[in-house]
Amino acid sequence: MNSLNNIRLQKFIAMSGYCSRRKAEVLINEGKVKVNGIKVTEQGMKVSTEDRVMVNGIIITVEEKKVYYILNKPRGVVSSANDDKERESVVDLVPNDIRVFPVGRLDRETTGALILTNDGDFAYYMTHPKFDLSKIYRVSVQGRLSYEVTNSLKEGVSIEGVDYKGVEISRVKYDVTKDKTQFSITLHEGKNRQIRKIFAHFGLPVLKLHRYQIGYLNINDLKIGQYRELKPFEVKKLLLTAKGEI
């Protein structure tokens, strides 16, 4: 997945450092450029780092830039780089000149913070169970969240043979007229549909689920569907947090 994607050939050549973009256009016109062994003489062809590009018989390559986006994922969008049902994906919501993939997953009906990158090492530190990177969600459930359930969740529970680590619950607000409870929950692991499963187990179906923070990083500045590129210091701080070094 880690590759530049849909880059115009002349830009690709310029990015390799072989020559300027204008000179690359001249070389294409002169028939001195081949892509996957086929001579190219028309401008505008798009290539990726998976293609074999030669200029004057020399293979050229582009060192890929690492990119990191934080997205406020909308409801109804899948957290997958490739969806066999051709549904809208989170990768459709960020620039496509560099192929990226989501770091972890949010189910289709869950909204909120999701990181997308082309850096496999970074994704490893963000998602591997041995690294402790907290994720904070705002949850709305049908019913009243009792002290007994809260206490059980803090201790950790086992559901259908799957063990779930203890969680932190705060900012609890119960609406007696609607029989709904809102609260924040902090997870230190990321098992499949974890929040929905544990509250369904206690007879508290999840109505809304929104992740608003990953590690120290929140998405208060992003509206639903918006994204921004992470700054280098933010990437470094996330890595240090995951490694337990800060």
CA neighbours closer than 13 Å in the CB half-sphere of residue 219 = 28
DSSP assigned state of 231: P
Amino acid at 104: G
Say how far apart CA 229 and CA 52 lie, in whole Å.
Answer: 29
Distances (CA, A) of 185 to 22, 34, 96: 54, 55, 33
The strand ranges marked E within the chain are 7-8, 33-35, 38-40, 46-47, 53-55, 58-60, 68-73, 101-102, 111-117, 135-142, 157-159, 162-164, 168-175, 180-187, 206-214, 217-218, 227-229
Interacting residues of 120 by C-beta distance below 8 A, sequence separation 6+ = 2
Classify the C-alpha dihedral 143-148-149-154 as positive or negative.
positive
DSSP assigned state of 80: -
Whether 179 sits among the annotated catalytic residues: the reply is: no
* Per-residue buried b or exposed e for 169-182, using 16+ beta carbons within 10 Å of the residue's own CB: beeeeeeeeeebbb
Catalytic residue among 107, 163, 175, 179: 107
Say how far apart CA 99 and CA 209 lie, in whole Å.
Answer: 28
Catalytic residues: 107
